[in-house]
Amino acid sequence: MEDLESDSAEDTLEESVLESDGEDGQRQEAGSGETQAGGQEKEAGEEKEEPEKKGFFKKKEKKDKKDVQIEELNDRLKRSMAEFENFRKRTEKEKAAMYEIGAKSVIEKILPVVDNFERGMATLSEKEAQTPFAEGMDKIYKQLLTTLESMDVKAIDAVGQEFNPDFHNAVMHVEDEESGENIIVEEFQKGYLYRDSVVRHSMVKVAN
């Protein structure tokens, strides 16, 4: 009888141990499942964040590319404006140079007419200079000089001035104690300036 009770007690203890082991196994399996599920969720979250990061950097990269294109266009515009400004200035200089060349050419053709007026007036006697014809010639001569002055043409000073090869052409030298050295004592033909450029040098006689 005692042996039966002992066997029954042992069987009950074994069942309790087995039940305990089974519950522990189920808990471990459940914990393992939760751990795996958590790991999968974490990996899924990381994968989700990664495309978002890539998308962010990709958007930023596109913005930087647009900025670069804008800078390039601005540089091209600035270069084009600078080239146009240089072209405009160069064209203005060329036009001014061409105008000056043309004006000097016309003035050179007018100066012999002025010379002839002066020579003709110089040959008149005092009585002839008072005639209506001579007075009319004198008025035309003065009008011609006024027109040249309006075109920035003026005569070069000569007599009494020191000889300057930039403005004067010495065709004769003379010893003159009363005049200073290298001083112009006589002018044979007037010289003229157009603005600051010499159209024709003065033909002069220089003392000493």
User: Which of 208, 134, 203 lies closest to 169 in space, CA to CA?
Assistant: 203
- 25 within some domain: no
pTM of the shown model = 0.56
Same domain, 72 and 105: yes
What is the residue range of 165's domain? 152-208
How many domains is the chain built from? 2
- pLDDT tens for each residue of 153-184: 999 999 999 999 999 999 999 888 788 889 99
CATH number for the domain that contains residue 201: 2.30.22.10
Give the pLDDT of residue 18. Answer: 45
Regions of the chain short of the pLDDT cut 70: 1-63
Beta strand pairing status for 153-155 and 192-194?
antiparallel
Both 140 and 174 in a single domain? no
Residues 194, 104 contacting (CB under 8 angstroms): yes
Is residue 18 assigned to a domain? no
CA distances from 136 to 17, 125, 131 (A): 152, 15, 9
Tell me whether residue 1 is in a domain.
no
Sequence-distant (6+) residues with CB within 8 A of 137 are: 117, 120, 121
